[in-house]
């Protein structure tokens, strides 16, 4: 199953697409995460993380840690904490 989420920047009176996150569990049964910056993000020179999601290159595939739900750090950091996740699950 393929899922896609558009990631947006919204702040200081601006709103624009930062990139696209794509997840699939097709081969391994665990999510494979791919992130691709939008053309606007490349033009602005703003990267989410210079270490795990550098601006150079095309699609960025990484084996992100399972304790981050296989998500890139900046995306995982935006999720609710443990208590919030428990609340959502119930």
Tens digits of per-residue pLDDT, 31-45? 677 888 999 999 999
pLDDT score recorded for residue 54: 82
Which residue, 58, 61, 24, 54, is CA-closest to 39?
58
Query: Counting Cβ atoms within 10 Å, is residue 12 exposed (0-12), middle (13-18) or buried (19+)?
Result: exposed
**What 8-state DSSP symbol labels residue 51?**
T
Q: Are 1 and 24 in contact (CB under 8 A)?
A: yes
**What 8-state DSSP symbol labels residue 49?**
B
**10-14, 51-55, 74-78 — most confident range:** 10-14
**Cα atoms found within 13 Å of the Cα of residue 30, Cβ hemisphere only:** 10
Tens digits of per-residue pLDDT, 42-64? 999 988 888 778 888 666 666 67
């Amino acid at each position: 199953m393929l899922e896609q989420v558009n990631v947006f920047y919204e702040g200081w009176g601006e709103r624009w697409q930062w990139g696209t996150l794509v997840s699939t569990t097709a081969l391994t049964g665990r999510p494979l995460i791919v992130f691709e910056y939008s053309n606007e993000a490349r033009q602005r020179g703003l990267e989410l993380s210079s270490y795990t999601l550098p601006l150079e290159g095309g699609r960025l595939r990484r084996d992100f840690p399972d304790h981050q739900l296989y998500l890139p750090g900046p995306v995982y950091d935006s999720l609710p904490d443990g208590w919030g996740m428990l609340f959502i699950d119930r």
